[in-house]
Amino acid sequence: MITAADIQPEFESLLERKAFEKIRSEAFDYIARGAGSEATMQENLLAFSKWKIRPRVLRNVAEIDMSSTLFDQKLSMPVLFAPIGVQRIAHPEGELASARAAKELNVPLVVSSAASYSMEDIANELGGCSRWFQLYCSSEEIVTRSLVQRAEANGYSAIVITVDTPVLGIRESDARNQYSPLEEGDGCGNYLNDPAFLSLLDLSPEEDMKAALQKQIDIIDQPGLDWDELKKIRELTSLPILLKGVLHPEDAKLALENNVDGIIVSNHGGRQLDHCIASLDALPDIKNIVQDRIPILLDSGIRSGVDVFKALALGADAVLLGRPLVYGLAINGEVGVMQVVHKILHELEITMALAGVRSIKEINSDLLFKG
């Protein structure tokens, strides 16, 4: 049988290589690899390289303002921590370490339904730092309701519904490695202490952990999720609701019609649908539909401050950082996460100055050329 150790990985960056050296190979593959042939993951990176910056000069860039606003909240930078589950596979403290980094940087953290630690424990680490909760709508409605109620009770200020996972994508490296972090219990932090979830079990997790973990896998997603089901979730909360995974302009129209509060243009980092449109390529058409009626965020493919600049220029109000944060986490815990963010923000600041813009509001598509 071929194991992960028999496969020589190709590294996207030095950061990725250093992370590979820190964690078990199966876990690295889970984090770094994409769906199918990984065409979508490659397209995400290629899409950024197609756009060139066309700078302005003599613009007095002595002071650069990277602050931004989302849902009437002032942000020091147009960046959030993406909802990444099972972070314990990268570092023993997982989301707790990421939360401490987010608090230190004052960057909003989006907590995954499939986190290694509970939303309550993560909130304790965050203190007063802004946090959103990413919701996988469960096939068991009582679990969805319970997760939303707990998020509200613990100071989460928005609900991010991931809509691109009605079923799990084909992840060949995980199949080859016979590896599932959910089966190993690394993504159950929000379930094993949830009263609604526990009510579905015949035996407590202490009595039969394997059955409890399998139940989470069985119910974590809702293949029947549609716009009518979305209305039910809207009735559960007064918090802003964002849809994560929107790529088609027609779905952006429907989001507006259904009073969605924000859109995250995302293809799940290339982890779901192979040969899917790159998130950045989808952004302009969605911006054309939405205009400025609701915030648009983007993830998938962000690797540098230059990438952040390009995403903002094409219509995003902010971006979510994904894989680079996990690599930083794997390398050096919360310090590693902070180092990655500082590097990206430094790159963004320098890019803004050299492009001739002094604030995030001045970044627009006139500064880009598609070569």
Is-contact 310 289, C-beta < 8 A?
no
Question: What does the alpha-carbon distance between residue 263 and residue 246 come to, in Å, rounded to a whole number?
Answer: 7
Give the pair of three-digit tokens for residue 338. Answer: 């902070």
User: Which pair of structure tokens corresponds to residue 333?
Assistant: 């815990």
Q: How far are the Cα atoms of 60, 205, 299 from residue 83, in angstroms, in the given order? A: 37, 25, 10
Q: Note whether 296 and 262 are within 8 A (CB).
A: yes
CB-based contacts of 155, cutoff 8 Å, min separation 6: 123, 131
Q: Catalytic site residues?
A: 268
Helix axes 305-313, 323-355, angle to 10 degrees: 70
Q: Tokens 């199949």 belong to which residue? A: 175
Return the C-alpha torsion angle 212, 216, 219, 225, nearest 10: 160
